[in-house]
């Protein structure tokens, strides 16, 4: 079975901004959420993909209550489009799952699948 490429061809209509740090509690979620709101207020379409597979909390920041999250995508129960939530100013949020050990220890192959989707 052939694996999908990790990086897809560049599409000038889309831009990805990754906010990352090796340390917790430094404000990644706060920065991502506020940047997303600011971009949406100037007319940009924004999707925030919460990639913190162990301690996700973008949904908490926006007071959203997901019924489904990335755990359901990984298990094959849902497609990524089915778990999208709408946040303030039209921001879309892909919620991860906080405190789910299986997600924190996700094998490399499954992590790649989430990125490529």
**pLDDT tens-digit map of 104-117:** 566 777 766 666 55
> 11 falls in which pLDDT band (50, 70, 90)?
low
Predicted confidence at residue 107, as pLDDT, reads 72
**Of the candidates 64, 56, 68, 53, which has an alpha carbon nearest to the alpha carbon of residue 113?**
53
> 66 falls in which pLDDT band (50, 70, 90)?
very high
Of 37 and 74, more confident:
37
Predicted confidence at residue 65, as pLDDT, reads 94
| Phi (first) and psi of residue 94, to 5 degrees | -100, 105
Contact 59, 95 (CB under 8 A): yes
Question: Could you tell me the CATH superfamily of domain 28-116?
Answer: P-loop containing nucleotide triphosphate hydrolases (3.40.50.300)
Residue 35 half-sphere exposure toward CB, CA atoms < 13 A: 13
Cα–Cα distances in angstroms (integers) from residue 71 to residues 19, 28, 86, 97, in the given order: 21, 21, 19, 6
Predicted confidence at residue 1, as pLDDT, reads 47
- What is the dihedral angle through the alpha carbons of 79, 50, 47, 81, rounded to the nearest 10 degrees? 10
**pLDDT tens-digit map of 20-38:** 888 888 999 999 999 999 9
**Where are the domains positioned within the chain?**
28-116
What tokens were used for 30?
Answer: 């706060």
Contact 101, 53 (CB under 8 A): no
**pLDDT tens-digit map of 38-62:** 999 999 999 999 887 667 789 999 9
pTM for this predicted structure: 0.76
Q: DSSP 3-state assignment of 115?
A: helix
């Amino acid at each position: 079975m052939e694996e999908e490429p990790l990086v897809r061809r560049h599409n000038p209509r889309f831009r990805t901004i990754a906010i990352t740090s090796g340390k917790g509690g430094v404000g990644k979620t706060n920065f991502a959420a506020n940047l997303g709101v600011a971009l949406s207020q100037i007319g940009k379409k924004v999707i925030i993909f919460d990639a913190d597979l162990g301690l996700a909390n973008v949904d908490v920041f926006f007071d959203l209550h997901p019924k489904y999250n990335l755990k359901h995508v990984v298990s094959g129960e849902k497609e990524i489009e089915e778990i999208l939530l709408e946040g303030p100013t039209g921001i879309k949020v892909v919620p991860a799952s906080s405190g789910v050990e299986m997600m924190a220890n996700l094998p490399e192959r499954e992590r790649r699948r989430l990125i490529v989707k």
